[in-house]
Structure 1
Amino acid sequence: MSETLCVLGLDAADYRLATRWQCSNLLLETSAELESISYSLDVPATLEVWPSIATGTPPAEHGVVLDSVGWDNTSGLNVLVRMAQLLPDAASERLAAAKERLDEGGFPYTDDPTVFDDGSVRNWPGVTPAHDWERESEWFEQATEGRMATTEFMRRYFGSTGSCLGWLAGQALSDVPIAGVHAHILDHAGHMYARRPAKLRTVYERIDALVGWLRSRVDRLVIVSDHGMQTTATDDPEPGVHSEHALVATTEPGPLPTDVLSVRPWLEDRIEADGEGTSDPTASVDAPREHLEDLGYL
């Protein structure tokens, strides 16, 4: 039995839709609607909320924010940051560091401590380089512009999402205290199919089945989203726009966190402090070095 607390960040997983469509794996043993936050926009923004979940602090403190006037489509990454002088001094310094990373290519991310510092994390916006999300965003742009067939877009996306969930299952075998991964598929699918609920439901049901696979392979699982999605299925006024209806679900007993800023302390209360498997900082290899060099490994 693995004590690793596995955290699946499932972007735009809407509690109302998961409940309406009876996605039992997304809802796990206990689930609830999670209160999200808005900062640069009138609705929650992916790049701002995920580092807030990991750090337990609002965007003005962790320093990863959007520019409220719009997106820069010439960057290829569609990411801007708010002017540094609008933030407190400490946040401005962190924002400057994030801006340097943006100039080098890739989404900005915070230097602040996160819940994953003693564990492992992959593709978490605002916390790690989000190469999977960057690649998926390129696919989404091609699909929305008619340069990629929707069937090809979804085929690639399910493969990418499966890779993320497989990574999380693998981390549970490595006995880290906590592991987290972000998967973006329900966000892009929600934008794409906001007025076609039958198609969106199919995506939810397939992701539910994929999470079922993950659920059967890890002992402790938490699912959290950053926001929901307005759709015609839920009679929302602006289909395809982010909603406040985020989701939290878990196999863990006890009360659930109520908002995205309380997720980090809630997770930390449940992390096993054993640390077994992380005490030996030096790797050792039994094969002769000469043989490894002959093979081209070194």
Structure 2
Amino acid sequence: MTLVVLGLDALDPDLVDAAEHPNLTLDAHHGIETIVSVAGEPSTHELWPTIITGLTPEEHGLKLDDGVAWENPLLRFGSTAADYVLPDALQTKIGAWLLTNTGEDAFREPASYYGERGIETVFDGRSAKPIGVPNYVVDTDAEDREHQLRRSMGDLFERDPDATGGHTSSDPVEFYERCMEMGMVRLARARRGLRSREYELVFAYTSAIDLIGHVSYANPGLQADAYAELDEFVGEVKADLGGDDDLLLVSDHGLQEGLHTDEAMVAATDPGLVDDVDSVTDVKAAIDAALADGAHEPAGNPHRGGDAGDSEAVRQQLEDLGYM
């Protein structure tokens, strides 16, 4: 019927426990290898394109340069000159300042990027609903609630290359609340996609626990609370699954003490979905294999009409009741 993939940025295999987090571990879970960027740690900017294509950053082309996503439209301007006149460390700090103070989002590469380069993604050739996937933006003029919240953080979430985790927050507790709202929005959209019965693949992403992890190094209880609350959110998605539906969780890296770690994770309601997933580069193949047999063909939204037989039955019923 439907395969739901939840991309949970920074979900760390060392921080989940099957007893405490049954919905983050599902029926099978394990850590997987990720890819370290030129910045010295795994990069969200690079890894979600890897997850949806099965290609390394060098192969799909969306990669960091000197620790900054200079191919972002705003940052691309003048980057060639910067290579000649600015030290690497200063380029990184300038890039961080621009992204913080201009509201630009480094993860908004349009979905057309892949087709223009002949790169296949998990969304190609099937009825799919991508929701907030970094660097796979279906409508570059539209923003959902998570984007709006991220752009309005102000000093609740500021880049600071000198801080632990690379970020600071003027009010970590308020920041936590906004991040969990972001997570709720994205998972609610995933539930709507699942309930519509219009898609064989629903793929929703949220950065909630990644953002919280970056500022909770001084208050680790916030990160633990985020895992517990996210487990409940995922449980609501799981409760909506039909008998033939499957749920797959995937992260791009872990996050401990404010810093990205070099191990990601997967979890699934069907252990066979993740048996052969050892790396972030294996996720696309697992999704393709799960959808290859046609078992996840969409059933169709019952509120958007049915086949001719159904329509005739409804018409006959209305006639019998005297409405036609």
TM-score, structure 1 as length reference? 0.73
Deviates more, 1:44-53 or 1:55-64: 55-64
Distance 1:253 1:194, change over 3 A: same
Distance 1:78 1:155, change over 3 A: farther
Residue 312 of structure 2: aligned partner: none
- Letter of the 1:23 partner, please give it: H
Question: Which residue of 2 is the match for residue 125 of structure 1?
Answer: 134
Task: Pick closer, same or farther for the CA change 1:16–1:131 going to 2, 3 Å.
Answer: farther
Report how far residue 157 of structure 1 moved. Answer: 2.4
Q: Which runs of 5+ in 1 are unaligned?
A: 84-101, 232-239, 285-298
Give the aligned partner of residue 95 of structure 2: none
Matches within 5 A, 1:114-263: 114-117=121-124, 118=126, 119-128=128-137, 129=140, 131-132=143-144, 134-144=147-157, 149-173=171-195, 174-218=197-241, 219-231=245-257, 240-254=258-272, 255-263=275-283
Task: Specify which of 60, 63, 80 is matched with residue 61 of structure 2.
Answer: 63
* CA distance 1:252–1:78, shift in 2 (3 Å): farther
Distance between the aligned counterparts of 2:171 and 2:271, measured in 1?
43
Q: 1:264 aligns with which of 258, 263, 284?
A: 284
Aligned with residue 273 of structure 1, among 286, 290, 294: 294
Q: Aligned pair 1:7/2:40, yes or no?
A: no
Matches within 5 A, 1:93-108: 106=105, 107-108=108-109
Pick the structure with greater CA Rg. 2
- RMSD over aligned CA atoms reads 3.3
Over 6 Å off, 4+ runs: 77-83
Q: Secondary structure at the match of 1:205?
A: helix
How far residue 65 of structure 1 moved from its aligned partner, in angstroms, is 1.6
Residues 44 and 242 of structure 1 are in contact (CA less than 8 Å); yes or no, is this contact kept in structure 2? Answer: yes
Q: Which amino acid aligns with 1:53?
A: I
Counterpart of 1:266, as a letter, is: A
Return the offset for 1:64. 1.4
Aligned residues: 249
Bigger helix fraction? 2
SS of equivalent to 1:25:
helix
Deviation of residue 141 (structure 1)?
4.5
Match of 1:291 in 2: none
Unmatched tracts of structure 2, length 5 or more: 81-98, 159-167, 307-324
Contact 1:26 1:223 in 2 (8 A): yes
